[in-house]
Amino acid sequence: MTTADQKSNILEIIAKAYVNWFNAAKPENKWTLEPAVKYFEEAVKAREMGKPVVWGSFVSQPEIFWAMDMFPLTMENFSFLLALLPGNMGHKYIDIAERHHMADHLCSYNKTMMGLAFSGDIPKPDIIVHPLQPCDSGRITYSNMAEILGVPAFAIDIPLLRTERGYSYVADEFERMVSFLEEHTGRKLTYEKLKEAMEWSNRAYAYYFKADELKKNVPCPLGEAFIPPFYMAGRVECAEYAERLYGIGQAKVEKGEGFLREEKIRLGWFSTGAYFDMGMQPWIRKEFGASIVHTMLGSYPGPIEDISTTRKIFEGLARQLLELPMARETGGLAEGWMEYAIRICREYKLDAVFLTLNMGCKNAWALAKLLKDEIADRVGIPTLILEMDALDSRVVSSESIRSAITNFFNTILA
Amino acid sequence: MTALEELMELSREPYNPLVKDWKEKGGKVIGFVCSYVPEEILHAAGLLPFRITPTGCTTTLEADAYFSRINCTFCRACLQMALEGKFGFLDGLVGINPCDHIRRLWDLWRLKAGLPFMKILSLPHRVHEGAVEWYKGEIQIFKGEVEKAFDTQINEDSLGKSIEIFNTSREWIRKLYDLRTKENPPLSGNEVTRIIVALLHIPREEGNKLLERLLNELENRKGISDYRARLMVAGGACDDPEFIEVIEKAGGLVVTDSLCFGSRYFFERVKTDDDLLRSLSMAYLNRPFCAGMAGGERNRLNFNLEMAQRFSVNGIVFQKIRWCDLWGGEAFYLGEKLKELGIPYLSLEREYWLSGQEQMKTRVQAFLEMIGK
């Protein structure tokens, strides 16, 4: 068992954790963990295999890195996984970051990754690549991290509005990014390799999208996806996982079955959750018969239509980048999130919405009231707004969160 | 009244007599919150660009129904005053997205208060050639929107003249700052902050006349000698002269800054010998960077060091408004670097409105003692 006191290579710790989870999983569930087990085994060996390691954010796309035979690590993913490990290893790294005078009000995802960088418990990357979305905290953390570690970094600039001009600008940014990567790694991006990665990525996104569409059915046939595409898209395992997930969902729909035996409430979770308590979602399902039909981080855009040239791929990636989870909601102006939220409430036939807003999430907090009112006025369903931290259990305890959720459900079910 | 007295007076209330006079004569006033908005476009259209400062706001009860407690009090104060109708004299607002808080201020102001003309620019968050072209495009679109909304034409000639007027301000402010390099500067930091705030709230032609008069008057003004240390103030938006006064009452004389209500706003001249829209984009983006510009740590550090050396400062006081992630990151980075370089550094976190003055004064005094002053 790994604990907060161990000083070790975090890559190895996470890789071992996944193996342990895999070994402990029921035979019928092991397939959900296989892609991550393989990914982290490779992550541990990436340097040894001569692959440049690139740190990036979860609101980005890894296909170009796979195509250039690099190894992408999504730093927020580490922040998330550390919070799951016994003793909440994330706390150690948050404290390290704050001891180094990192602002305490930055997002705990970013504090964890910065603390990890300071601690030396993870090998330094060769390059950092980060899109300048979805928030200030991420923007400044990656920028600071690159400077502190002395690592070359490329920031993909993101325009405010979703316009053709904006998409073209981001596509240009991808071209600049590739030049940067080629200069700093000596590797070349070829269309053939990129196309191959995109074909697998498109397959994954197509099945994720279709699986998500299945959740519009009553009862909802699926729970959460375990393997998000933000670090896996472009790998065969991700596409196979998404296809299998869709198949399970489709089979349930054909039989008229739901993920839950009895679905009493259809819930939309329009924010990050309390990830330090992974028992919370199963508890919500069991205690209240609530299907978590839609989550912010569990719903993905569709595949890219045109992969006929490198430029077309960049243009497609540009559109997709701005529609990735969290960027889709909190990027741009208020209407973007409001209209998206209303559409989801209607199409997924929701009964209630959670906005369990992370303490670091300034721009989401500024819209919470508007969103709640808009949902109430136009859809007629209630929203629970709850202050908490997604990773740091010391900010608001699991018990407090569960208590607030209980009160909310008791009120709406009464 | 001396020019200094006039400027001090004009800085007290945003809706000052010159703005009232402008309005009474049928002029339109367009507000903006961030220094990246190209004021010259508004000026060339015959409008009065007005940098919004929620001066005098000390509570945000109504605004906090929308914003949360973890949002910047500068933005909350702006929204509060908008909801109260205190910015009712504005005929429009130009939005921009330097940070999440200001982006959401735009949303909330637009949806909950509103003004007749409201347009937003998409600011790049990384400075490179592509960004200069992008922002040039944004400025071009904005120019068209202004022309259409106010039934006017902004041509090369009118824009060129406006740029020259604003360049004149930049030149006068540089000269003003040059005076502060003296061992006994003729102005305190409090006074300079008031001068700049006043300039941002009046027709620029009037401001330039006042600046020219002021520079003449200052030739005969006795320099300040009663101070313990020469300080530089750096950080995020700071339009509050009383905050600077707290530092100065503790014995530190603020002789320079790296602020967007100060040197970072005024120092870059806009070229007029080339494509004017591109020149605007180049100048605005290539000023010493805001913390919102990714990869700008070294740019800001170098600027801070250059200013500290040029103005012979004994220490740097960094300030930021609570909950500001971008300047929070900068506080961390700058602190690490200045420590390595052995430059005395004090980091203060504050709310937009002045509070905890005695604690702040104590911290500044302790800082001065620590640096042996």
Each residue of A278-316: pLDDT tens digit? 899 999 999 999 999 999 999 999 999 999 999 999 999
Residue B222 CA: distances (Å) to CA of B216, B219, B312: 13, 8, 20
pLDDT higher than 90, residue A6: no
Residue B91 has, within 13 A of its CA and on its CB side, a CA count of 17
**Listed residue (B14, B15, B25) closest to B47, CA to CA:** B25
Contact B107 A102 (CB under 8 A): no
What pLDDT is stored for residue A412 in this prediction?
86
Q: How far is A244 from chain B (nearest CA, A)?
A: 39
State the amino acid at position B369 in one-letter form: E
pLDDT digits (tens, 9 = 90+) for A63-96: 999 999 999 999 999 999 999 888 889 999 999 9
Q: Give residue B101's pLDDT.
A: 98
Quick check: A169 contacting B, CB < 8 Å?
yes
Q: Which helix (H) or strand (E) holds B279?
A: helix B276-286
CB contact under 8 A, B325 and A135: yes
For residue A374, the chain B residue with the least C-alpha distance is: B111
Give the pLDDT confidence score for residue A413 in this predicted structure.
77
What's CA B193's distance to the chain center, in Å? 9
Closest CB to B108 among A106, A161, A366: A366
- Tell me the per-residue pLDDT of A346-389, one tens digit each, with 9 for 90 and over: 999 999 999 999 888 999 999 999 999 999 999 999 999 999 99
CA angle B189, B191, B195 (to 5 degrees): 115
**Record: contact A155-B328, CB cut-off 8 A:** no
Q: Say whether pLDDT at A5 is over 60.
A: no
What band does A228 get if pLDDT is binned at 50, 70 and 90? Answer: confident
Cα separation, B259 vs B282, in Å, equals 19
Chain A, chain B: beta-carbon pairs less than 8 Å apart: 141
Query: For B65, which DSSP code?
Result: G
| Cross-chain Cβ contact A362/B101 below 8 Å | yes
**ipTM reported for the complex, 2 dp:** 0.95
β-sheet bridge partners, residue B92:
B30, B117
- Pairing mode of beta strands B345-350, A383-388: unpaired
Mean pLDDT of A317-321: 98
Confidence (pTM): 0.96
pLDDT under 50: residue ranges of chain B: none
